[in-house]
Structure 1
Amino acid sequence: MNSIVLLGEVATRPELRETQDGLARASFILRFGAQRPEEPDYQVQVVAFGNTAGEVNDQYVQGDQVVVEGRLQMNSITKQDGTREKRAEVIVRRLHPIGKGQEASAPLPPPPTNPPISRPPAYKAPSVRPIADQPAFNDEIPF
């Protein structure tokens, strides 16, 4: 199954177009942090179709923090110098807003504190008498 979830910032204003079949198509660049501080942020093209494309165009602007759920697709494009390049693209299944513009850069509130966990009382093994104190073994079956 091809599935990806990314948390990032809308880096470009969503652009709404129509496919040749008349299906709405919205796309934007999603930016998210690199693993190392010396590396630049990663960027990936995000594309939504149909009703989701209209929602993306109407509800999201540059600077919004979002979680994108979708599938990863690789596209080959021809650059101006004639060379071919592969680029990753995320096709949206769902989009979840996290924060708007400048609000998104504010630190998240601390998680709620949970009450301490009450644990059941410790297990106490039944007392066992030493073998010498055990009654003699009787061969008779009591039933």
Structure 2
Amino acid sequence: MLNRVILIGRLTQDPELRYTNSGTAVASFTLAVDRMRSGQSGERQTDFINIVVWQKQAEIVSQYLHKGRLAAVDGRLQIRSYDNREGQKVRVAEVVAETVRFLDRGPEGQQQNSGFGGGQPSTGGRPRTDYGSAPSFEDDPFADDSQTIDISEDDLPF
């Protein structure tokens, strides 16, 4: 079975950081993601997707991401339900993020292409990326446009 969601979009508001009773950080925000197709009248359609981030990532997201920032989220879809004040069962769909990457420049004009991560800013104004399992920007083989990959048509499976 596979439950994997990858999204790229802009934050609709600043992340909301909270802590559980046991002290675990949890941040939530909404990501506006454009659909690939336009509507019938040619207008672009957007989905607003709830994102939840836990632990150290939650603190870093609340510190570095703000309304309007472009971010990539890699995680899993979670459907949960609860009873509202009127006693009706409400179902909520949200993405639980495993990795969040900053895809645009921060307010100081410094590049924020970083996985999580956490900690204080390091050289270059990017958050440190030595926490968690996400590869750092420096380790990304596709980050440097000067590198090319030589693939012949015989190597393609189709």
* TM-score class normalised by the smaller sequence: 0.5 to 0.7
Structure label with greater radius of gyration = 1
Superposed, which structure 2 residues align to 1:1-143 within 5 Å?
Answer: 1-38=2-39, 40-79=45-84, 82-100=87-105
Paired residues of 1:72 and 1:91 also in contact (CA < 8 A): yes
SS of equivalent to 1:9: strand
Distance 1:54 1:62 in 2: 16
Q: Measured at CA, do residues 83 and 95 of structure 1 come closer, stay the same or move farther in structure 2, by a change above 3 Å?
A: same
Amino acid corresponding to residue 20 of structure 1 in structure 2: N
SS of equivalent to 2:35: coil
Note the alpha carbon deviations across 1:73-102, whole angstroms, 9 max, x for none. 012244565543322111111111111479
TM-aligned CA deviation for residue 68 of structure 1:
0.3
SS of equivalent to 1:34: strand
Q: Measured at CA, do residues 53 and 87 of structure 1 come closer, stay the same or move farther in structure 2, by a change above 3 Å?
A: same
Amino acid corresponding to residue 35 of structure 2 in structure 1: A
Query: Percent same amino acid among aligned pairs?
Result: 28
Q: What TM-score, normalized to structure 1?
A: 0.64
TM-aligned CA deviation for residue 40 of structure 1:
3.9
Note the alpha carbon deviations across 1:10-31, whole angstroms, 9 max, x for none. 1121000001211011110011
Paired residues of 1:63 and 1:101 also in contact (CA < 8 A): no
The root-mean-square deviation of aligned C-alpha atoms, in Å, is 2.9
Amino acid corresponding to residue 26 of structure 1 in structure 2: A
Q: Measured at CA, do residues 83 and 10 of structure 1 come closer, stay the same or move farther in structure 2, by a change above 3 Å?
A: same
Distance 1:114 1:23 in 2: 41
Q: What TM-score, normalized to structure 2?
A: 0.58
Distance 2:45 2:12 in 1: 14
Give the paired residue count. 109
Paired residues of 1:62 and 1:101 also in contact (CA < 8 A): no
Greater relative CO (CA pairs within 8 A, separation 6+): 1
